[in-house]
Amino acid sequence: MENWDELTLTMLKEIITNKQVKKLREIFEEVNIVDLAEMAEQCTLSEVLFVFKTVKKEVTADLFAYLSVDKQEELIRTFTGPEIKSILDNLYLDDVVDFLEEMPESIVKKVLQNATSEQRVEINTLLSYAPNSAGSIMTTDYVELFEHHTVEEAMEQIRKQGKTAETINTCFVINKSNTLLGSVSLREILFASEDKEICEIMDTDIVAVTTGDDQEEVGRIFQKYDISVVGVVNSQFKLVGIITVDDVIDVLEEEATEDIHLMAGIRPVEGSYLESNVWEIFKSRIPWLLILMIPATLTGLIIEGNSAILLIVPSLVNFIPMLMDTAGNAGSQASAMVIRGIVVDDLSIKDFLAVLFKELRASFMTGLILFVINTLRIVIFMPNVGIIVAILVSFTVFLTIILANLIGGLLPLFALILKIDPASMSGPVITTLVDAVSLLVYFSIAIAVLG
């Protein structure tokens, strides 16, 4: 048997072209399936089909799960009924639902036509849950035990159910009405005496989510309790599925990407940057840019409305970009920390006063330092401006830092009241708003001091 640690795409393509079936099967036994999926993405349809026809069905089902949506669709369109049935039989149901959610109606119909009646019921049930809910990412492939089972009976059930279960490390304990009573780890079962009942060794401190819970909240629960699997229950607390940590990692990545896009004023785009076409990128960016032109007009009107003071003291114009940039950056810093607090630390609207006073103190210290540094900077490098203008500009910096931090820190909390994503209240939104505020403060002080 050869060592395939140094396998390259060229080598794989050559083996497929030469129809070296034995070597191909060796590769799929030796090499990580994720790495092989990356290579398969760059193979032609005929090359990938050859792999599916020659390699073990359970292995190619795993390969299918790691392929991109486009490649999956391409394959399903080509697969015969028995080939689709083989994929369904060897894939976990949550993986089946994951790819069906991204498929056009014709593909979904073709897949369901080749599913068993039991599979169809389970797939349709999972598809019926709201997008981005716990129900939409759960799987129904798990090990369930009854409270009265002995350890010996439990081991027998694990052997039966474990073949198709997504995990056997944690088993869920139910009663005859399917109510979730607790969980028990395989480790606890292995080290318990055979005649002990499961109810004696199970953990009754239940951590569970409901089918309607938001997937982001599910991710927080995994982080908070440091668990690898969680039970999913319905409104009657009956166990209907489980969510494993591998699915949550995908959710956390998806939610983080969405938040980053929103913070930059971009409508979230499905898939990676390279997979997105130019039209999708254009559509994701243009809405916010158009919307932000409205408040940007306000900034222009403020400058135009105060043109008289600029004619009297032309040097004031020199400091407008610095003031706007500093205020915008300060607001963005505050919003980034508060949004992170909302996501990670369960910051909520009840913490309004705590955030208010914290931002006041932090911005006061920041503003004071910038007041001193900026005054010295202007006096040293721009002596012709004069000490009065230097202090005026620096005092404006001091005030706008305080206002920008308050706006940046409190806007995400207001977003919670409006039930919108706090990430959308950051980046360009805060920068544009703070720009207008900083100019109003600047010109108000200038007119008061310089007349």
* pLDDT per position as a tens digit, 200-232: 999 999 999 999 999 888 988 998 899 999 999
pLDDT of residue 12: 92
pLDDT of residue 277: 78
In sign, the C-alpha dihedral spanning 50, 52, 53, 55 is positive
- pLDDT greater than 80 at residue 233: yes
Strands 229-233 and 208-210: parallel
Task: Please state, in angstroms and rounded to a whole number, the distance separating the CA atoms of residues 112 and 122.
Answer: 11
Task: Please state, in angstroms and rounded to a whole number, the distance separating the CA atoms of residues 289 and 44.
Answer: 39
Task: Please state, in angstroms and rounded to a whole number, the distance separating the CA atoms of residues 272 and 326.
Answer: 33
**At 422, is the pLDDT very low, low, confident or very high (cuts 50, 70, 90)?**
confident
Radius of gyration of the chain (CA): 30
Contacts of 395 (CB under 8 A, 6+ apart): 371, 445
Q: Which one, of 133, 87, 92, lies nearest residue 112 by Cα?
A: 87
Q: Which one, of 15, 13, 19, 18, lies nearest residue 2 by Cα?
A: 15
Per DSSP, the three-state class of 149 is coil
- Contact in structure between 299 and 436 (CB atoms under 8 Å): yes
Burial group, residue 105, by CB count within 10 angstroms (0-12, 13-18, 19+): exposed
Q: What is the pLDDT of residues 141-180, one digit of tens each?
A: 999 999 999 999 999 999 999 988 999 999 999 999 999 9
Which has more confidence, 277 or 265?
A: 277
pLDDT of residue 334: 92
Per DSSP, the three-state class of 261 is helix
pTM over 0.85: no
- pLDDT greater than 90 at residue 428: no
Give the pair of three-digit tokens for residue 377.
């900077």
Contacts of 108 (CB under 8 A, 6+ apart): 100
Which amino acid appears at position 232 of this protein?
A: V
- pLDDT greater than 70 at residue 438: yes
Task: Please state, in angstroms and rounded to a whole number, the distance separating the CA atoms of residues 406 and 340.
Answer: 16
Q: Which neighbouring-strand residues pair with 184?
A: 171
Give the pair of three-digit tokens for residue 350.
């009840």
What is the distance, to the nearest Å, from the Cα of residue 268 to the centroid of all Cα atoms in its chain?
10
pLDDT of residue 3: 67
**At 42, is the pLDDT very low, low, confident or very high (cuts 50, 70, 90)?**
very high
Which domains does the chain show, CATH number per domain? 9-130 (1.25.60.10), 144-259 (3.10.580.10), 278-450 (1.10.357.20)
Give the pair of three-digit tokens for residue 247.
């699915």
Task: Please state, in angstroms and rounded to a whole number, the distance separating the CA atoms of residues 357 and 302.
Answer: 30
- pLDDT greater than 70 at residue 2: no
Contacts of 351 (CB under 8 A, 6+ apart): 413
**At 418, is the pLDDT very low, low, confident or very high (cuts 50, 70, 90)?**
confident
Per DSSP, the three-state class of 197 is strand
- Contact in structure between 335 and 430 (CB atoms under 8 Å): yes
Which amino acid appears at position 25 of this protein?
A: R
pLDDT of residue 34: 92
Average pLDDT of the residues of the chain: 89
Q: Which one, of 145, 174, 37, lies nearest residue 95 by Cα?
A: 37
